[in-house]
């Protein structure tokens, strides 16, 4: 083969590799893997740890291990850690995710930090996800290389489950009740309703009984409501109502004759408030 032919082959191979490179970021590892990295950093050094120490903590014999590098890259893409000059440092989100009281809300935020996952969520949050082949094709349209779309889809599905978005089925992304935009911590402890005068409590008619307790999912949902008088976007309200619908479907029985399901959408300003087909 002539030198010119060899040069052309090298150029052609380079172009092909460039075309096969994904143009949108996504991790090869799952959210659980990224959380494990964050917790290993915290255990080894608090807010930062040397690569060598972190590799040993995670069970890798060398920092050059492909698996170790993928896990560090995954933690970075989920927004949990950054690395420089041989050190890996927790981000503010990473510091929250190692706190058991804040972990669930931080997981939701970490999942939506990944550009590919955020794009998928925004497109399908009001409906159902396509089957695997359709989901892979959508990922390819968003910038995932054809040869990587199967792996990207599997990592996405694992991470969505680990973040709590699949609580109502693997074909629907429902914003978890225990998560709140901005990473605020939400408690799901069961709390009794305080008895009021005339309700049968000690200050009422002498019934003396304690009022029924909320279901944990209802308690968590109510905790996510912003304080009265604060700003709350229409998009945020829609997500809250859609989550409420999913929770009601999970914990309440429905008459067998009732068909269909509730979907909450934003109505355009031009739609009449009195149109019975208008969305909420």
Predicted confidence (pLDDT) per residue in 117-157, tens digit? 999 999 999 889 999 999 999 999 999 999 999 999 999 99
Q: Which residues contact 203 (CB under 8 A, 6 or more apart)?
A: 195, 196, 197
pLDDT classification of 199: cutoffs 50, 70, 90: very low
Answer whether residue 208 is part of any domain: no
Q: Tokens representing 161?
A: 């489950």
Task: Check residue 170 and give its pLDDT.
Answer: 92
Least reliable range by pLDDT among 26-30, 101-105, 117-121, 257-261? 257-261
Q: What is the pLDDT of residues 208-243, one digit of tens each?
A: 444 456 676 676 777 777 777 777 787 778 777 878
Number of structural domains (the chain) is 1
Query: What percent of the chain is predicted at pLDDT more than 70?
Result: 69
Answer whether residue 68 is part of any domain: yes
Answer whether residue 85 is part of any domain: yes
Answer whether residue 154 is part of any domain: yes
Helix pair 66-77, 31-45: axis angle to 10 deg: 100
Domain enclosing residue 92, as ranges:
31-163
pLDDT classification of 253: cutoffs 50, 70, 90: confident
Answer whether residue 255 is part of any domain: no
Answer whether residue 216 is part of any domain: no
Answer whether residue 244 is part of any domain: no
Residue 177 vs residue 15, higher pLDDT: 177
CA distance 25 to 28: 10
Average pLDDT over residues 9-22: 51
Give the mean pLDDT of the chain. Answer: 77
Q: Which residues contact 97 (CB under 8 A, 6 or more apart)?
A: 35, 38, 80, 103, 106, 107, 110
């Amino acid at each position: 083969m002539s030198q010119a032919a060899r040069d052309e082959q090298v150029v052609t191979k380079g172009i092909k590799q460039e075309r096969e490179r994904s143009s949108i970021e996504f991790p090869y590892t799952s959210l659980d893997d990224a959380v494990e990295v964050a917790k290993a950093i915290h255990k080894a050094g608090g807010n930062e740890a040397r690569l060598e120490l972190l590799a040993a903590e995670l069970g890798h014999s060398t920092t050059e291990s492909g698996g170790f590098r993928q896990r560090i890259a995954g933690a970075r893409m989920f927004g949990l850690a950054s690395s420089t000059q041989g050190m890996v440092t927790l981000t503010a989100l990473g510091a929250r995710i190692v706190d058991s009281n804040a972990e669930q809300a931080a997981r939701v935020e970490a999942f939506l930090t990944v550009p590919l996952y955020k794009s998928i969520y925004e497109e399908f949050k009001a409906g159902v996800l396509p089957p695997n082949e359709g989901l892979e094709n959508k990922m390819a349209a968003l910038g995932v290389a054809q040869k990587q779309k199967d792996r990207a889809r599997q990592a996405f599905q694992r991470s969505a489950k680990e973040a709590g978005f699949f609580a109502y089925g693997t074909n629907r992304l429902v914003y978890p009740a225990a998560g709140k935009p901005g990473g605020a911590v939400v408690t799901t402890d069961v709390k009794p309703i305080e008895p009021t005068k005339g309700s049968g409590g000690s200050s009422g008619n002498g019934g003396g009984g304690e009022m029924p307790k909320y279901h944990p999912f209802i308690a968590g949902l109510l905790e996510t409501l912003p304080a009265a008088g604060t700003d709350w976007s229409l998009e945020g309200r829609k997500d809250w109502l859609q989550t409420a619908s999913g929770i009601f479907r999970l914990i309440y029985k429905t008459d067998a004759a009732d068909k269909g399901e509730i979907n909450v959408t934003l109505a355009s300003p031009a739609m009449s408030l009195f149109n019975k087909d208008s969305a909420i």
